């Protein structure tokens, strides 16, 4: 790419950056937790429409995706699961097509009293924007959009089709990205600006969610010895799951991308509920677990081992032996994905293009990183033969209190993205 | 008492027993869990009114009782906490006055799928009435009422004031019974037909309820090592509380009434809630605990030790050390009570009268029992110098599934109660 064009694109990002920051603030103010994404998607659809993109907005139909690889089981209706895609259709189609993907759903804020300021009233201080979802990943949605704006400000458009995706369900299933694939949105590469500190993600873990339901034999607590406490009965099961976690993390089980990590796979008991009355031995409990798996590790085998571990531990308990736990899957059935294992020329070219864009913007080499989470990249990489580049701004406390994103980092990512688009897709007149 | 009168009273109970069983069924059908007692209290007030008792119905006023001994702290409003008392005012007042007490509140049913039939659709099979609250203690409310009916059927009334009480809040605080005391209802003895298998309760435990609130440092589970899981952090605290339970139950700590019991004091983790999202390290958890204490054991000292145990365990945890748990009291602050320790002539006379009534009805000696629960008896015994006789029918699975009460046992209790009233209060013409 000409140095002159690089400079013009970066100048255009700078010129639009106040507007971009305002856009990020407004988007972050929409409390788009699962099932509540509609106002945020309205906002995204308007932003795409006024820019002239062909906007496609649709409710995810489970029947259309449930037999596809990568589908994750869901509980309850999908009435509020709506994706938005804005399409740029190139006039010349001389370059390589691109998906710019981001998710609009955010995780719950947690107890409000643990935030220094309200999670959905974003504020800017010392170069950071604070708010739930600001980092994970509304700054990425802003970056994708304003990178395209930078081209437009230079009188240019990508010389290939570009699909701007604002999806839901990334935080629990990935079925939003899967539904985009099922609807026919494919391209030569995908870029997902998840907040991994301007590193290129070369590998991500798989994730399985499961619920364990226990039932006890409730009695008046006066006779606690004859009851079975369904809350406390969970403790040895959780301990057994942690022992499994320890085994899975053993050095001999790690693929190369994770060889250096002692504990890449985290098991998280994320929710727990049980009991109805303080003086009744609790009759039931339910706990929700997230467990990670390595790229290449079979979900089917992992689930079988999880079930075996839970049932074996339950059989050690006098009561649970006769009332075995029920294991319910609802949420992630996500395989791991390693871009590092994609030996295609296309992947090499995409990584190379991003590396150049990053270096041109930052003056630093592009750091590669294997991450301990999942992202929607797996759908493109595993099920659509499309290299998926996860590369986004620096953020802190994602899923935590006082989540924040570094605005200068978002600026650099936006510039690098604009340069990457211009290189990967080529340009044509707007 | 004349044998002739005994026979007539027992015959009258038999003659009214179908009606009594229907009354119990109808009362059990009212789902009078905490805060939902109004329809059951309507039913009780009507039953007392049609029989000619002077009905007093009032909402508990926390301000009136909160400084009285025996008060238990409550969370939230008392809008739905309504007591009903029906008074019989004797014309002659020749005998000893009596409180016939029972509670109308019931504990939650728990998961409905664990009941063989709906908990608030009582059914009778093989001599048992099934339903939540049938045993604990609506059969006792029926017994008290129909024992008085038996006297009336014989053309008699008690020759002393009798206060029939249908109270709320027995299952969580006892503040209903306390409010009756505060309202001026006192007598020479109290009878409470809680379902202890036709035994006379000679001692009962104290009970303390407390909540433990934990806050964690939530992060994306990908970085679980840097977070603090507020659910799992509870486990060592629960273990420490069980170690305290073990110490308190040691032989050297047991009063005579409990010397033969290895484990009279039960600690119950009755409710647990925590976390908002499966893939976020949980930021919070709350668990509710019931712990028993022996008669004579100080609540103040017990609370201090509970707090010490929790805080000491928390200080062992790297995270909790800097975010110590909060301990909230809401519910039982109940002292233990031992009728066996009441050396008054009045107590001896009351026990003697009940013993005779029981033997006349059943032909068996009255079995004495120390129980591992609390009842409202403590208010009368500890704070009003009134011997409180806990003596009621056989029931099973109270606080459990398929709770049931033995109808023939209720019949015997009703007869013994009628005989006891006639003896203790004496009789006058109706």
CA distance B4 to chain A (A): 41
pLDDT for the residue B110? 87
B/e letters for A111-145, b = 16+ CB within 10 Å, e = fewer, are: eeebbeeebbebeeeeebbbbbbbbbbbbbbbbbb
- How far is A423 from chain B, CA to nearest CA, in Å? 33
Q: Which residues of B touch A401 (CB under 8 A)?
A: 218, 283
A232–chain B Cβ distance below 8 A for any pair = yes
Confidence band, pLDDT 50/70/90 cuts, at residue B413: very high
The answer to whether residue A272 neighbours chain B at the CB level (below 8 Å) is: yes
Predicted confidence at residue B234, as pLDDT, reads: 95
Q: Residue B25 is encoded by which pair of tokens?
A: 């069924």
**What integer is the mean pLDDT of A151-174?**
97
B170: left (phi over 0), alpha (psi -120 to 50) or beta: alpha
Nearest 5°: phi and psi at B378? -60, -35
pLDDT confidence of residue A407: 98
Q: Chain A: give the shortest CA distance to residue B158, in Å.
A: 35
Partner-chain contact B278 A263, CB within 8 Å: no
CB atoms within 10 A of CB A384: 19
B36 touches chain A (CB under 8 A): no
Per the prediction, chain A carries an average pLDDT of: 95
Considering only A321-330, A347-356, B353-362, which range has the smallest mean pLDDT? A321-330
Q: How far does A243 lie from chain B, in Å, by closest CA?
A: 14
CB-based contact A172 B111, cutoff 8 Å: no
Asked if the Cβ–Cβ distance from B107 to A398 is below 8 Å, we say: no
Q: What percent of chain B has pLDDT over 70?
A: 97
Q: Report the residue of B135, B249, B399, B403 to disrupt the A interface, i.e. the one with the largest count of A CBs within 10 Å.
A: B399
Asked whether the beta carbons of residue B373 and residue A220 sit closer than 8 angstroms, the reply is: yes
Partner B, chain A 286-315, Cβ-Cβ below 8 Å: 287-290, 292
Neighbours of B200 (CB within 10 A): 18
A267 contacts in B (CB within 8 Å)?
A: 224
> Cis (ω within 30 of 0) for the bond into A137?
yes
Q: What class does CATH assign to B206-334?
A: alpha beta
Q: Is B367 or B227 the better-scoring residue by pLDDT?
A: B367
User: Given pLDDT bands bounded at 50, 70 and 90, which one contains residue A49?
Assistant: very high
Closest to A336 (Cα-Cα) out of A383, A294, A386: A294
Q: pLDDT digit string (tens) for B379-408? A: 999 999 999 999 999 999 998 899 999 999
Domains A3-204+336-429 and A206-334 share a fold: no
The answer to whether the Cβ–Cβ distance between B277 and A270 falls below 8 Å is yes
Any chain B CB within 8 A of the CB of A269? yes
* CATH entry, A3-204+336-429, from 3.40.630.10, 3.10.20.310, 3.40.50.970, 3.20.20.60: 3.40.630.10
- Residue A223's pLDDT band (cuts 50, 70, 90): low
How would residue B224 be classed by pLDDT, with cut points 50, 70 and 90?
A: low
- The answer, for B136 touching chain A at a CB cutoff of 8 Å, is yes
pLDDT digits (tens, 9 = 90+) for B24-46: 999 999 999 999 999 999 999 99
What is residue A220's predicted lDDT score, i.e. its pLDDT?
66
**Above 70 in pLDDT, residue B220?**
no
The tokens of A364 are what?
């630093």
Q: Which of A 102-121 lie inside 8 A of B, CB atoms? A: 107-108, 110-111, 114
A158: left (phi over 0), alpha (psi -120 to 50) or beta: beta
ipTM of the complex: 0.91
* Contact check, Cβ <8 Å, B268/A221: yes
* Distance from chain centroid for Cα A184: 21
pLDDT over 90 (residue B322): no
Q: Evaluate whether B170 touches B176 at the Cβ level (below 8 Å).
A: yes
Task: Tell whether the model's pLDDT for residue B184 goes beyond 60.
Answer: yes
Query: Which pLDDT value is given to residue B321?
Result: 83
Q: Do B217 and A400 touch (CB under 8 A)?
A: yes
> What is the reported pLDDT for B227?
54
Judged by CB atoms closer than 8 Å, whether chains meet at A270 and B279 is answered as: yes
Determine the distance in angstroms separating the CA of B385 from the nearest CA of chain A, rounded to an integer.
Answer: 26
Domain boundaries of chain B, sorted by first residue:
3-204+336-429, 206-334
Interface membership of A218 toward B (CB under 8 Å): yes
- Give CA separation, A74 vs A33, A175, A209, A325, A329, in Å: 16, 9, 11, 20, 8
pLDDT in tens, A347-386: 999 999 999 999 999 999 999 999 999 999 999 999 999 9
- Identify which of A223, A263, A273 has the shortest CB distance to residue B273: A273
pLDDT-derived band at A202 (thresholds 50, 70, 90) equals: very high
The pLDDT-based confidence of A222 (bands split at 50, 70, 90) is low
User: Per-residue pLDDT tens for B90-115?
Assistant: 999 999 999 999 999 999 998 898 89
pLDDT band at A323 (very low <50, low <70, confident <90, very high): confident
Pairing of the two strands A200-203 and A368-370: parallel
- B280 contacts A136? CB cut-off 8 A: no
Q: What element of type H or E holds B239? A: helix B234-248
Give residue A63's pLDDT: 94
Q: Quick one: pLDDT at residue B219?
A: 63
Nearest to B400 among A218, A290, A373 (CB): A218
Q: Which residues of B touch A107 (CB under 8 A)?
A: 276-277, 279-280
């Amino acid at each position: 790419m000409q140095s002159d064009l690089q400079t013009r694109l970066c100048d255009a990002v700078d010129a639009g950056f106040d507007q971009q920051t305002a856009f990020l603030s407004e988007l972050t103010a929409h409390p788009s937790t699962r099932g509540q994404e509609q106002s945020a998607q309205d906002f995204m659809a308007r932003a795409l429409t006024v820019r002239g993109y062909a906007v496609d907005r649709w409710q995810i139909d489970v029947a259309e995706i449930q037999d596809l690889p990568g589908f994750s089981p869901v509980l309850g209706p999908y009435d509020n699961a709506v994706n938005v895609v804005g399409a740029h259709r190139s006039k010349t189609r001389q370059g390589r097509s691109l998906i710019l993907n981001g998710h609009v759903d955010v995780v719950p804020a947690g107890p409000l009293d643990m935030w220094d300021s309200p999670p959905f009233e974003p504020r800017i201080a010392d170069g950071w924007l604070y708010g739930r979802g600001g980092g994970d990943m509304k700054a990425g949605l802003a970056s994708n959009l304003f990178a395209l704006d930078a081209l437009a400000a230079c009188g240019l458009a990508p010389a290939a089709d570009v699909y701007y995706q604002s999806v839901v369900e990334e935080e629990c299933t990935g079925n939003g990205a899967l539904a985009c694939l099922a609807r026919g949105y494919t391209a030569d590469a995908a870029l997902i600006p998840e907040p991994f500190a301007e590193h290129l993600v070369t590998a991500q873990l798989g994730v399985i969610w499961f619920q364990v339901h226990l039932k006890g034999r409730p009695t008046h607590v006066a006779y606690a010895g004859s009851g079975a406490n369904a809350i406390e009965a969970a403790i040895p099961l959780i301990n057994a799951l942690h022992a499994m976690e320890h085994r899975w993390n053993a050095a001999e089980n790690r693929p190369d991308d994770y060889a250096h990590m002692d504990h890449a796979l985290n098991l998280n008991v994320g929710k727990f509920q049980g009991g109805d009355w303080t003086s009744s031995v609790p009759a039931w409990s339910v706990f929700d677990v997230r467990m990670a798996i390595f790229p290449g590790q079979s979900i089917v085998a992992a689930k079988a081992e999880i079930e075996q571990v839970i049932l074996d531990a339950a059989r050690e308990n006098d009561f649970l032996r006769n009332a075995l736990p029920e294991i319910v899957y609802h949420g992630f059935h996500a395989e791991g994905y390693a871009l590092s294992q994609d030996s295609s020329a296309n992947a090499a070219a995409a990584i190379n293009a991003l590396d150049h864009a990053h270096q041109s913007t930052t003056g630093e080499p592009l750091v590669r990183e294997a991450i301990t989470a999942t992202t929607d990249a797996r759908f493109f990489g595993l099920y659509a033969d499309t290299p998926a580049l996860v590369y986004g701004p620096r953020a802190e406390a994602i899923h935590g209190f006082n989540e924040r994103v570094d605005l200068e980092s978002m600026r650099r990512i936006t510039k690098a993205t604009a340069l990457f688009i211009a290189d990967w897709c080529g340009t044509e007149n707007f």
